[in-house]
Amino acid sequence: MSSAMQEPEVLLIGAFGSMYTIRVQIALAEKGIKYDYIEEDLTAKSPFLLKHNPIYKKVPVLVHKGKPICESLIIVQYIDETWKQGPLLLPSDPYLKSQAAFWADFIDKQIYISFRKIIDNKGEVQKGVEELLGHLKVLEEELGEKPYFNGESFGFVDMALLGYYNHLIAIEPIGNFSIDKHCLKLSSIQEPEVLVIGSCVSSFTARVRIALAEKGIKYDFIEEDLTASKSPILLKHNPIYKKVPVLVHKGKPICESLIIVQYIDETWKQGPPLLPSDPYLKSQAAFWADYINKHIHICFRKIIDNEGEEVQKGVEELLGHLKVLEEELGEKPYFNGESFGFVDIALVCFYSHLIAIEPIGNFSIEKECPKLVVWEPLATCILRNNISLPKSQPLDHGLHRCMKEKKDLSWMKMVKMEAEVGESKKIEISNGFN
């Protein structure tokens, strides 16, 4: 990166899966603060991390106007004191504030040590489990009948403990224990009202995120690592297919992306309707969304999973299906007519994947399906910020910038520009903003 490039005003250096990074992400989300994010490889610490945290050399680090703040609880307090908008994370009363600091410190000192005893497996697993459950019971007693540790509002201690949630669930099989069984009060507050379990590279997860954004629904997000063993929370909520996405609403899981989108539309009446109210039109939307699921994804897999003639066969089938969809779209801006809806959501999330395989199949959607290239939904998603990552994982979309500056660009060209911007950003980050 050139020396002229400036660090963003608010930057978080963190790591996927880090309980401490999660705390900071939640705090920033609660305050509604936009920020840039750098994923740190903890097996090979970057010069950028070492520059901003030379003492501990650990994540997270919040860099605000070029000044680094380290240690997660200190960062959360800094966020609360710096940005006054949004809810208070710490009480204003000095005594209550001191109590919140005490319990957050208790969590860091006691929960983490017991957690390490269990996963390090040096003959102290059972001891670690007993200590962990003992500490959790102390916290449960402190919680009492309150909805949050702070009383009626989500705050500092809640953030301190919630960061551990996935880790504690993951070690239940190792220690042969159940938090649900031993700490019922705590288990009942572990999941937020609206939770999405998904993957940032999943087109099916993107459908759900767009639908929630259209309705203006705030939600928490758990990133599922699709390359690793399925997480306990995914297996718990989708034991049949064991796949993402899963929407968990008030503790009840809903699976399969199109079913989830329909559930969202029927549950939250605010915002634009995603499905028509007319039964016939609704049935047609369901038909075309099902068509996309059955044919587009299968062709995509044929192209990327094969070689030679099978690839060409996959390309021919894909273009044939896209032409059918193009004919159904006709001269309408959206499949539903004048408004963005169910079929648009079903298809739009495949576009980045289809663009990516054009070189593999030696084809061009822009050439073969010109109507789909200038189709409205991409602009809709970008201008409404609907395809940005959830509040806990924001991303600076280069495509959004391109849209604002060059609104006359065709949709496909903008996607290609986004790919270029994304690649250049990766290079800039690896250079550490030098």
Taking 80 as the threshold, does the pLDDT of residue 338 lie above it?
yes
Taking 60 as the threshold, does the pLDDT of residue 392 lie above it?
no
Q: What is the pLDDT of residue 221?
A: 86
Q: How far is CA 217 from CA 200, 269, 399, in A?
A: 18, 11, 23
In this structure, what token pair is assigned to residue 19? 């309980």
Alpha-carbon span 378 to 387, nearest angstrom? 9
Query: Which tops the pLDDT comparison, 215 or 412?
Result: 215
Q: Which residues contact 81 (CB under 8 A, 6 or more apart)?
A: none
How does pLDDT run across 286-327, given as a tens digit for each residue? 999 999 999 998 999 899 888 889 999 999 999 999 999 999
In this structure, what token pair is assigned to residue 230? 């399925």
289: left (phi over 0), alpha (psi -120 to 50) or beta: alpha
Alpha-carbon span 32 to 135, nearest angstrom? 32
Alpha-carbon span 250 to 272, nearest angstrom? 23
The pLDDT confidence band at residue 419, using thresholds 50, 70 and 90, is very low
| Average of per-residue pLDDT across 343-369 | 89
- Residue 398 near residue 422, CB atoms below 8 Å: yes
The pLDDT confidence band at residue 104, using thresholds 50, 70 and 90, is very high
> How would you list the strands of the sheet with 246-249, edge to edge?
220-223, 194-198, 246-249, 252-255
The pLDDT confidence band at residue 2, using thresholds 50, 70 and 90, is very low
First to last CA, the chain: 6
Query: Which tops the pLDDT comparison, 2 or 192?
Result: 192
DSSP 278-294: SHHHHHHHHHHHHHHHH
Beta bridge mates, 10: 64
Q: How far is CA 330 from CA 226, 280, 281, 337, in A?
A: 37, 19, 16, 10
Nearest to 292 by CA among 260, 257, 255: 257
- Single-letter residue type at 21: T
DSSP 361-388: HT--HHHH-HHHHT-THHHHHHHTTTTS
Nearest to 42 by CA among 62, 28, 27, 56: 56
Alpha-carbon span 411 to 432, nearest angstrom? 32
Query: Which tops the pLDDT comparison, 338 or 105?
Result: 105
In the chain, % of residues over pLDDT 90: 50
How does pLDDT run across 56-101, given as a tens digit for each residue? 999 999 999 999 999 999 999 999 999 999 899 999 999 999 999 9
Give the DSSP H or E segment for 157: helix 156-162
Alpha-carbon span 108 to 103, nearest angstrom? 9
| Average of per-residue pLDDT across 2-28 | 82
Count Cβ atoms within 10 A of the Cβ of residue 417 and give its class: 0-12 exposed, 13-18 middle, 19 or more buried.
middle
Nearest to 107 by CA among 156, 173, 61: 156
| Average of per-residue pLDDT across 92-121 | 92
Q: What is the pLDDT of residue 413?
A: 34
Q: What is the pLDDT of residue 153?
A: 86
Give the DSSP H or E segment for 247: strand 246-249
Alpha-carbon span 332 to 336, nearest angstrom? 8
Tell me 12's DSSP state: E
How does pLDDT run across 224-269, given as a tens digit for each residue? 877 777 887 888 899 999 999 999 998 899 999 999 999 999 999 9
Taking 70 as the threshold, does the pLDDT of residue 429 lie above it?
no
| Average of per-residue pLDDT across 35-62 | 93
**40-49, 85-94, 351-360, 395-404: segment of lowest average pLDDT:** 395-404
By DSSP bridging, strand 36-39 and strand 10-14 are: parallel
Tell me 225's DSSP state: -
Taking 70 as the threshold, does the pLDDT of residue 388 lie above it?
no
Give the DSSP H or E segment for 410: none
Taking 60 as the threshold, does the pLDDT of residue 339 lie above it?
yes
Taking 70 as the threshold, does the pLDDT of residue 371 lie above it?
yes
CB atoms within 10 A of CB 136: 23
For tokens 């551990």, the residue is: 164
Q: What is the pLDDT of residue 6?
A: 66
Q: What is the pLDDT of residue 408?
A: 32
What domains appear along the chain, each with residue ranges and CATH number?
10-86 (3.40.30.10), 94-188 (1.20.1050.10), 194-267 (3.40.30.10), 279-429 (1.20.1050.10)
Alpha-carbon span 348 to 86, nearest angstrom? 33
Count Cβ atoms within 10 A of the Cβ of residue 46 and give its class: 0-12 exposed, 13-18 middle, 19 or more buried.
middle
CB atoms within 10 A of CB 337: 10
How does pLDDT run across 168-193, given as a tens digit for each residue? 888 888 888 888 778 867 765 545 78
In three-state secondary structure terms, 133 is helix
Q: What is the pLDDT of residue 426?
A: 26
